[in-house]
Amino acid sequence: MTNLKTTYLGMQLRSPLVMSASPLSEHVDNIKRAEDAGIGAVVLYSLFEEQLRMERQALYHYLTHGSESYAEALTYYPQLGEFKTDSSGYLEHIRKAKEAVHIPIIASLNGTTVGNWIKFAKQIESAGADALELNEYSIPTDMNKSGAEIEETVIEVLRAVKSAVSIPVAIKLSPFYSNMAYMAKRLDSVGADGLVLFNRFYQPDIDLETLEVKPSVILSTPQALRLPMRWIAILYGRIKASLAATSGVHTAADVAKMLLVGANVTMMTAALLKNGIDHARVVEEGLRQWMTEHEYESVNQMRGAISQLNTEDPAAFERAQYMKALTHYRPDMS
Amino acid sequence: MSPREITTIDANEAVARIAFKVNEVIAIYPITPSSPMGEWADEWAANREANIWGSVPQVIEMQSEGGAAGAVHGALQAGALTTTFTASQGLMLMIPNMYKIAGELTAAVIHVAARSLAAQGLSIFGDHSDVMATRATGFGLLCSNSVQEAHDLALIAHAAALEARVPFIHFFDGFRTSHEVNKMELLSDADITAMIDGDLVRQHRARALSPDHPVLRGTAQNPDVYFQARETVNPFYAACPAIVQQVMDKFAKIVGRQYKLYEYYGAPDAERVIVMMGSGAEAAQETVDYLNERGEKVGLLKVRLYRPFDIPRFVEALPATTKAIAVLDRTKEPGSAGEPLYVDTITAIYEEWRHGAMPGVVGGRYGLSSKEFTPAMVKAVFDNLQGARPRNHFTVGITDDVSNTSLEVDSEFSIEADDVVRAVFYGLGADGTVGANKNSIKIIGENTNNYAQGYFVYDSKKSGSMTISHLRFGPRPIHAPYLISKANFVACHLPGFLERYDMLKDIVPGGVFLLNLPYPAEEAFARLPRIVQQQIIDKKLRVYTIDAYKVARESGMGGRINTVMQVCFFAISGVLPRDEAIAQIKYSIEKTYGKKGDEIVEMNLKAVDNTIENLFELTIPAQPVSDVPMLPPVPAEAPGFVRDVLGMMIARRGDDLPVSAMPIDGTYPTGTAQWEKRNLAQEIPVWDPQVCIQCGKCALVCPHAVIRIKAYEPAALAGAPETFKAMDAKDTEWHGLKYTIQVAPEDCTGCGICVDICPAKNKSAVNLKAINMRPQPPIREQERDNWNYFLNIPETDRRNIKISTIRQQQVQQPLFEFSGACSGCGETPYIKLITQLFGDRTIVANATGCSSIYGGNLPTTPWAHNNDGRGPAWSNSLFEDNAEFGLGMRIALDKQREYAGELLQRLSAQIGDELVSALLAADQHDEVGIYEQRQRVAALKQKLAGMQSEDGKQLLALADAFVKKDVWIIGGDGWAYDIGFGGLDHVLASGRNVNIIVLDTEVYSNTGGQMSKSTPRGAVAKFAAGGKPLGKKDLGLIAMSYGSVYVARIAMGAKDEQTLRAIIEAEAYDGPSLIIAYSHCIAHGIDMGKAMRNQKAAVETGQWLLYRYNPEREAHGENPLVLDSRPPKLPVKDYMYMENRFRMLTLSKPEVAKQLLEEAQHDVQTRWALYEYLASRDYHKNGSEH
């Protein structure tokens, strides 16, 4: 029997298949289903501080809008006692998820200020999350801010959160750093327990009929796999932090590739949204089959086998490979 | 015992707190000004608060006050302690049950915020007309004069009713008391418990109907015994006053405040005495003190127990020295011997006076519809008694130059004490001024030894409304239920008010004037109108300015300047030491907004900190320096009545109008809103002809009819202003014509819904459309000229307009314009469309509600007429009877048409057969037919003009009946689904040709968003705080079940062509038509400028189906039902969570919200399946499937 156990963020997981942050985890039933389907850990959907703030402001606006203006209608709503527009709903969800399953629950957080990252991280820890994934989801557009400043902020947030909580902390990054290797090293040195590679952003699209910009959710495709694959291969063995592959993991083959380049875990969303959570069983079965066919006994045995450190051709993961790909490219003449 | 809580609340809350504590069943229905009592009860029940027996009362909303009274009667019969709250017309609907409840000697209390009754006009304001109309019911009538009294006497009423077995109306003045915020002491649960005798409660229960000890109650009685049986209750009424007094005495022992049934106040040896009840007695009491201190001998008899009227106690309470009595009634009984309290007083004196010569008694009316009643008026009443022959049946507070009843009042007379801070704030509804002032009252009233009072005057318009707050703070309890006329602090929160209202007329010399002005302090004075400058100089005022918008904006508060202006008030009024005041404000911000999130607290705190450094005192020059004039309330060219009468109301000087200025029977001219230029919009739409595709949608959706379109001959452009825009008409049928879209710049409210709906985009910058919002002030003058020019371009001939497409139809002139509806209103576009199509031949029956308020509230009204003088004639009867009201109109019109036809035939020899038969057989289904018929009628009138016969004269008077007339019955869902449903149903079944449109906002919008049976599942509304658990009633399906009613459901924002088609078909259908129109509403918690998107989403998700059901189709072998919606293509969540009314439940009760969302989605599916089935039934086979 193949051994799927792996370690991630210092935690023992029964499988390298992890359900990544998505609306699927909004329902405890789904988390339970994921556990039943063999998933090793679940990353909850993100607590977006900005969203909570906007929700509160919208609520405040609409509850007061039009009030105290007209004698017959001084208000338009009943005065309800309490609104859950703070993190309490999210924290409650962590508690319920923890009660429902045995697999680790990793909370995900996106804050706005260092102080608030710390505040929410502590709340999440108290609510019982096994680990925390910092979701560094931002698109810098300020023309007066240098890349160095932005990087410094990310480091600062991680450092602050690490010193505030004792549960493991991973950080999910975008691939858009000048030198991802340097960034990874810095995060590692500040104590990141794991790097989650990479964040995917909603990409705007144009509706040619209405001439409007439409924010579109494009689920990852298997092609998206290549980017994290390269960077995990490069980082494997060079930093202490665990490596999680996310984006484009759809099939057992994808999982196998990621483990071979050095991922501790592989995270899936698109495939589960598309095929249902039970698809995890199919992936797991496929992984086992591949391992059996290729005589791998365990995930640990696979991990990093084709990383840059261990590959026959280390340059293959670097820029030269790109040059080579281009020079060897020939149109299909058939 | 721990000290009782001191608080600052209004009487509605003070009364509701008692009623909630001592009842088990509370049946409610919204009506101004009593609605908040029901809302409080519902909220407390929703929050699981308990009565004194530890149990949460059952609170149930009924379909009408009649329904509430029935439920109260039933609950009482089944043994529950039961109450209700109401006012005015609501109380009228309760009267039948009140006779029963009293006749059965049932202990109960109805709390009434006393309000005027609709007579020549409706009024939401306070007087005793409603209560007085119930005095024969057998209910006791107990009156409170202040907020504290209302709290205390509410309890006394409940306790006394239980003991006396006489039910009570406990009443207090609507608005003046119900909405006045005053410092008062709350009774504790222990107090309340001590007042309610458990044995009496058990006796009440023992009298209930029960199969365990069955009785029969409610027999039919005959001439032999009814009379005797009616007399059996006498001992209870005889005993009742003593019982009430005992309860008052017990209350005094427990609480310390002693009340008397008839409470005399003033000089023990007074010769002149006023007898009255209600809040006016507070003003009288203060004036009595003032006059007696100055050597007069006057007194006041406050009547608390009006029914049962205790003659001995009443007379006994009067000083033996009394020589002259003035009885003041806050009601009017035309044709009576005198108003009721006056008549009762005479009877009492006649029967019981034991001190020699009877005092003279005169009666007078005061304070109708919250008319001010001031110390000066009290003095005038006393002065009247001093004369040898005091005027009787007088009025005070108005100038009656018709019947000469009014007493002279010295407007300079004031008794305001020097140590009372009197502050008046002019704010804009949306800026939070009232909320901030209520907060200031709390700060001072609850945290210092000072007393505090607040009263708030609101606008008659819903959009851009002005609020005036009157606040008093002082070292003694404040008994001043009248507006401040000697202010020592005036604040103007909106710069635009300066040139429109005389805010300084009532400020005392040396007073403080605070201004929010968007100018640097050094420029501020020069910007003020000259008259304002002169007043500042003459009265030696201290003037402070702040750019509050800037401070609010920079603190993250947007346009809400409430906190900024509140800090200014405390900083310069000196009512509290500045540092203490600021600390209190900050504390209160934390307390108020803490739950709403840190950032809301932070931005308010930031605003506090930023205020002081931006507040400046102005240096006042010796002479005025500006030439800025005040704006006239209406332009000089307005018609005389508009200028002289309505203009006075607009300028807030309506109180100065004499009786002779008023129409005698409530009849007003139409087309008056055009004269009230409100200039509300910061930004207005500006047309870009380069981009325009001439679809007409902007004009269609405009809620205020400020976007107009004309297609006209090019010659009309000769002499057009330079900036006037025109383009060639694109419609092929209008080849050679010019086309203009023009905006009325001073009438626009700036909602922006036109821009949002515009489908045309600028090819080079898609954020620009064919109509774009631009700042109003720079283009106001230019566009005013353009608008006036546009109005003079001839209207497109109605015969040449194809009404079946919006692009042509929208050139029709709207005859409903510039209403006071909310900015972005979802109802008014439908009304406007109807007036464009049929306004010149329509009579409107309008149910009470939003549409009757923005449609009929003075001063100016939106229903208009065209250049021929034709337009909708409009009336409002009641809330509950609107369908019947409209049906009555239809029947009258039909009868007149019938009789006119009979006369025509009788006179055919003189008139000529050709004209007669053409008149009788005219096809008037379109504009051409109507035009031709009008020509015939004109010819007929010419022929009839010289006729001397009675028939000829009769026919001349009825000749217009030959032209087609429409009846449109308009109302909201509160009317159609709830209170008026029975009548609506009957009218639908009548087969008569009426057109009914239900402006369905899914809540009682006008009274503040209470649930109706139209409210959809999952929506939070008042009386549905936990989200409405049940689905919306399908009114359309009910109407369709008759098979003879045209029914359509429409949503303009989803499919405007379907809306147009349905309205045209409904009008054409010769029978009853019912249109249910989705009307977005401010109560939905939505962006009103983008609300058409909500309509679209409602349809696309299947929440709102579009269809037309035309019985005529069946005759052609077609299914009468045509579904105009496509199958739901989006989850209903996508629509629901666009709106705060649904979304807020996910934040308050997430689990419930989830459940209700699932059920709502299920509703969508089952509804679609049902309608799809109904629309697919084959009618062809048998001709009919019914």
- In DSSP notation, B161-181 reads HHHH---EEEEEETTTTTT-E
CA atoms within 13 A on the CB side of B45: 26
Whether A72 sits inside 8 A of B597 (CB atoms) is no
B806 Cβ neighbours under 8 A, 6+ residues apart: B695, B696, B697, B700, B1056, B1057, B1060
Residue B1183 has pLDDT above 80, yes or no: no
Query: With bands split at pLDDT 50, 70 and 90, how would you rate the model's confidence at A329?
Result: low
Helices (H), B65-215: 65-77, 88-103, 129-132, 147-164, 189-195, 198-206
- Tracing tokens 């509140």 back to the chain, one arrives at B566
Q: Which of B47, B1021, B1082 sits opposite A81 (nearest CB)?
A: B47
DSSP letters spanning A7-38: EETTEEES-SEEEPSSGGGGSHHHHHHHHHTT
CB atoms within 10 A of CB B405: 18
- Residue A80 in contact with partner chain B when CB distance is under 8 A: yes
Minimal Cα–Cα distance from B137 to chain A, Å?
28
Q: Per the structure block, which two tokens stand in for B526? A: 């020069």
Look up the ipTM and state it.
Answer: 0.92
Alpha carbon B181 to its chain centroid, in Å, reads 20
pLDDT at A82: 76
Query: Which region among B625-639, B1033-1047, B1063-1077 has the lowest average model confidence (pLDDT)?
Result: B625-639
Helix (H) or strand (E) holding A279: helix A279-293
Q: Are A251 and A283 in contact (CB under 8 A)?
A: yes
- Residue A1 in contact with partner chain B when CB distance is under 8 A: no
Query: With bands split at pLDDT 50, 70 and 90, how would you rate the model's confidence at B592?
Result: confident
CB atoms within 10 A of CB A243: 29
Minimal Cα–Cα distance from A58 to chain B, Å?
8
Q: Which of A59, A74, A89 sits opposite B1140 (nearest CB)?
A: A59
Give Rg (Cα) of chain B: 32
pLDDT at A324: 53
- Report chain A residues whose CB lies below 8 A from the CB of B597: 52-53, 56-57, 60, 85-86
Whether A72 sits inside 8 A of B853 (CB atoms) is yes
**Considering chain A, what percentage of its residues have pLDDT values greater than 70?**
95
B223 Cβ neighbours under 8 A, 6+ residues apart: none
Section B505-533 average pLDDT = 94
DSSP letters spanning B554-586: HTT-TT--HHHHHHHHHHHH-SS-HHHHHHHHH
Integer Cα distance of B1146 and B695 in angstroms: 39
Q: Per the structure block, which two tokens stand in for B850? A: 């939003």
Q: What 3-state class would DSSP assign to A45?
A: strand
pLDDT at B447: 86
**Residue tagged active-site, from B82, B97, B876, B1006:** B1006
In chain B, whose CA is at the least distance from the CA of A60? B596
Integer Cα distance of A101 and B413 in angstroms: 79
Residue B464 has pLDDT above 80, yes or no: no
- Report chain B residues whose CB lies below 8 A from the CB of A74: 36, 1008
Q: Which fold has domain B680-812?
A: Alpha-Beta Plaits (3.30.70)
- Report chain A residues whose CB lies below 8 A from the CB of B456: 68
In chain B, whose CA is at the least distance from the CA of A82? B1148
Q: Per the structure block, which two tokens stand in for B184? A: 């008062």
Query: With bands split at pLDDT 50, 70 and 90, how would you rate the model's confidence at A325?
Result: low
- Topology match between the domains B264-396 and B680-812: no
CB atoms within 10 A of CB B102: 23
- Residue A64 in contact with partner chain B when CB distance is under 8 A: yes
Burial A213-222 (b: 16+ CB within 10 A, else e): eeeeeeebee
Section B194-212 average pLDDT = 97
**Residue tagged active-site, from B7, B8, B32, B672:** B32
**Residue tagged active-site, from B13, B39, B61, B65:** B65
Residue A333 has pLDDT above 50, yes or no: no
> Strand pairing partners for A212?
A207
Minimal Cα–Cα distance from B130 to chain A, Å?
18
Whether A66 sits inside 8 A of B822 (CB atoms) is yes
pLDDT at A334: 39
Mutation for testing the B interface, residue in A74, A83, A112, A120 having most B CBs under 10 Å: A74
In chain A, whose CA is at the least distance from the CA of B821? A70
B96 Cβ neighbours under 8 A, 6+ residues apart: B66, B69
B150 Cβ neighbours under 8 A, 6+ residues apart: B11, B14, B15, B144, B170, B172, B177, B178
pLDDT at A332: 52
Whether A62 sits inside 8 A of B1085 (CB atoms) is yes
Whether B1006 sits inside 8 A of A77 (CB atoms) is no
Residue B2 has pLDDT above 70, yes or no: no
Mutation for testing the B interface, residue in A30, A76, A211 having most B CBs under 10 Å: A76
Q: Which fold has domain B264-396?
A: Rossmann fold (3.40.50)
Mean pLDDT of chain B: 96
CA atoms within 13 A on the CB side of B596: 21
> How long a stretch of residues is chain B?
1186
CB atoms within 10 A of CB A208: 7
In chain A, whose CA is at the least distance from the CA of B467? A69
Integer Cα distance of B1021 and B1028 in angstroms: 7
Pairing of strands B421-428, B466-474: antiparallel
Whether B1144 sits inside 8 A of A212 (CB atoms) is no
Section B585-609 average pLDDT = 84
Integer Cα distance of B134 and B142 in angstroms: 12
Q: What 3-state class would DSSP assign to B1180?
A: coil
B928 Cβ neighbours under 8 A, 6+ residues apart: B799
Mutation for testing the A interface, residue in B1144, B1149, B1154 having most A CBs under 10 Å: B1144
Q: Which of A57, A82, A212 sits opposite B595 (nearest CB)?
A: A82
Q: Are A268 and A254 in contact (CB under 8 A)?
A: no
- Report chain A residues whose CB lies below 8 A from the CB of B115: none
Whether B467 sits inside 8 A of A69 (CB atoms) is yes
CA diameter of chain A? 82
Section B813-831 average pLDDT = 97
> Strand pairing partners for B503?
none
Alpha carbon B904 to its chain centroid, in Å, reads 46
What residue segments make up the domains of chain B, in order of their start? 6-212+223-254, 264-396, 421-617, 680-812, 1002-1176
Minimal Cα–Cα distance from A66 to chain B, Å?
6
pLDDT at A326: 53
In chain A, whose CA is at the least distance from the CA of B435? A68
Q: Per the structure block, which two tokens stand in for B276? A: 């009255």
pLDDT at B1022: 95
Pick the CATH number of A6-328 from 3.40.718.10, 3.40.50.300, 3.20.20.70, 1.10.1370.40: 3.20.20.70
Q: Which of A52, A65, A79 sits opposite B1082 (nearest CB)?
A: A65
Whether B1144 sits inside 8 A of A86 (CB atoms) is no
CA atoms within 13 A on the CB side of B1141: 32
Helices (H), B463-577: 521-527, 530-538, 548-554, 562-573
Query: With bands split at pLDDT 50, 70 and 90, how would you rate the model's confidence at A327?
Result: low
The better pLDDT of the pair B953, A59 is held by B953
Integer Cα distance of A227 and A248 in angstroms: 9
The better pLDDT of the pair B580, B150 is held by B150
**Considering chain B, what percentage of its residues have pLDDT values greater than 70?**
99
pLDDT at A112: 84
User: Domain B1002-1176 has what CATH class?
Assistant: alpha beta
pLDDT at A312: 82
Helix (H) or strand (E) holding B470: strand B466-474
B97 annotated active-site? no
- Report chain B residues whose CB lies below 8 A from the CB of A73: 1005-1009, 1083
> Strand pairing partners for B774?
B684
Q: Which of A69, A85, A211 sits opposite B430 (nearest CB)?
A: A69
Pairing of strands A105-110, A41-48: parallel
B989 Cβ neighbours under 8 A, 6+ residues apart: B1042
Q: Per the structure block, which two tokens stand in for B734? A: 């209008």
B32 annotated active-site? yes
Integer Cα distance of B1156 and B1137 in angstroms: 12
Section B476-505 average pLDDT = 94
Packing angle, helices B578-593 and B598-612, rounded to 10: 160
Counting Cβ atoms within 10 Å, is residue B194 exposed (0-12), middle (13-18) or buried (19+)? Answer: middle
B1143 annotated active-site? no
In chain B, whose CA is at the least distance from the CA of A87? B597
Integer Cα distance of B290 and B378 in angstroms: 11
> Strand pairing partners for B456?
B469
Q: Which of A65, A70, A80 sits opposite B1148 (nearest CB)?
A: A80
> Strand pairing partners for B467?
B427
Minimal Cα–Cα distance from B280 to chain A, Å?
21
Chain pair A-B, CB pairs under 8 angstroms: 135
Q: Architecture of B421-617 per CATH?
A: 3-Layer(aba) Sandwich (3.40)
In chain B, whose CA is at the least distance from the CA of A211? B766
Enter the pTM of the model.
0.94
Query: With bands split at pLDDT 50, 70 and 90, how would you rate the model's confidence at B38?
Result: very high
Section B330-340 average pLDDT = 98
B307 annotated active-site? no
Counting Cβ atoms within 10 Å, is residue A160 exposed (0-12), middle (13-18) or buried (19+)? Answer: middle
Section B1155-1181 average pLDDT = 95
Query: Which region among B322-336, B605-619, B696-710 has the lowest average model confidence (pLDDT)?
Result: B605-619
Integer Cα distance of A231 and B1022 in angstroms: 57
pLDDT at A330: 54
Q: Per the structure block, which two tokens stand in for B571? A: 């900083």
What phi and psi values does residue A228 have, to the nearest 5 degrees? -60, -30
Residue A331 has pLDDT above 70, yes or no: no
pLDDT at B894: 98
pLDDT at A56: 85
CA atoms within 13 A on the CB side of B1068: 15
pLDDT at A322: 52
Q: Per the structure block, which two tokens stand in for B232? A: 């059996």
Tens-digit pLDDT profile for residues B757-796: 999 999 999 999 999 999 999 999 999 999 999 999 999 9
Q: Which fold has domain B6-212+223-254?
A: Rossmann fold (3.40.50)
Tens-digit pLDDT profile for residues A111-131: 888 889 999 999 999 999 999
Q: Are B425 and B491 in contact (CB under 8 A)?
A: yes
pLDDT at B631: 87
Section B443-452 average pLDDT = 91
pLDDT at B1186: 46
pLDDT at B914: 96
Backbone region of residue B375 per phi and psi (left: phi > 0; alpha: psi in -120 to 50; beta: other values): alpha
Integer Cα distance of B1124 and B1126 in angstroms: 7
